[in-house]
Amino acid sequence: MNIKKITGKINNVVDLSKTAKEISINLSEPIDFISGSFMNVFIDINGEKVRRAYSISSSSLENKNITFTIRLSPVGLLTPLFWKKDMIGEDIEMMGPLGLNTVDKMKQDKIYLFAFGVGAGVVKSIASYFFNQKNIKSLTILTGSKSEDEILYKDYFNSLSLGSGNVFVDHIVSRTREGSTIKKGYIQDYINEFDFNNSDVYVCGKEKACNDLVEKIKLMNPSDCNYFIEGFH
């Protein structure tokens, strides 16, 4: 990837849930990025230039306008801005693309994508990439959220499985409404049916949740299973 220092203008902000937003940015020049990449973002706050790394959640086919999926961090400096003020029209500085856990590292034809919370953003970009690869025999996507209202990109993920025999999508929440048919619990509660032999496993979300899930998979002792973990605090 060709790392650049570029500028961008925020042209849209979409509420995904009470604690998550999708930020759309028009770039000063196109960038070639690989799904799974992130950008370092720099924004001036009270005279201080604050840096934050955000994974790209848009398709790699779109290289002039990209999106970030961000979660509200009460103790953060940068993300609360998007809840406190209208950021549309703001100019920002960026550097990238960067990243180690990108789709070019994933070589198997059986792919598992697991997303916790806002991790669904980068999984959306990765799912878009693999959905269009003809050599992929199976693509499995599971999201884990606190509640049904916090399932991000649910309609998009579900649309991938419609009419496709090799795409499986499911959503699990830790708290369900009365009468809900959605699965309750955690992602690791629903993986026993999967065959992880000869597969690539991508996990994104809070670091502890990612590590707990990977440890559960490892207990199944799969052969030739590669793990790509994008954990954050």
pLDDT tens digits for 65-112?
Answer: 999 999 998 777 888 889 998 999 999 999 999 999 999 999 999 999
Residue 1 is predicted with a pLDDT of: 66
pLDDT(179) > 90: no
Q: Kind of pairing, strands 199-206 and 225-232?
A: parallel
Q: How many whole angstroms separate alpha carbon 4 and alpha carbon 94?
A: 8
Domain 103-232 has CATH 3.40.50.720: no
Nearest in space to 25 (alpha carbons), one of 56, 51, 60, 71: 56
Q: What's the CA angle centered on 17, arms 190 and 209, to 5 degrees?
A: 35
| Lowest pLDDT segment from 84-93, 175-184, 188-197, 202-211 | 175-184
Percent of the chain with pLDDT over 70: 99
CB 222 within 8 A of CB 197: yes
Q: Span 189-194, mean pLDDT?
A: 96
Q: Span 129-144, mean pLDDT?
A: 96
Q: Span 137-154, mean pLDDT?
A: 97
Residue 142 is predicted with a pLDDT of: 98
User: What's the pTM?
Assistant: 0.95
3-state secondary structure (DSSP) of residue 32: coil
CB 146 within 8 A of CB 117: yes
HSE of 17, CA atoms in CB hemisphere, 13 A: 20
Question: Would you list the domain boundaries of the chain?
Answer: 4-98, 103-232
Q: Span 56-60, mean pLDDT?
A: 96
Residue 125 vs residues 40, 59, 87, 213: alpha-carbon distances, Å: 17, 5, 23, 21
Domain 4-98 has CATH 2.60.40.1180: no
Give the number of other CB atoms < 10 A from CB of residue 56: 27
Buried b (16+ CB within 10 A) or exposed e, 135-151: ebebbbbbbbbeeeebb
CB 153 within 8 A of CB 179: no
DSSP state of 68: E
DSSP state of 136: -
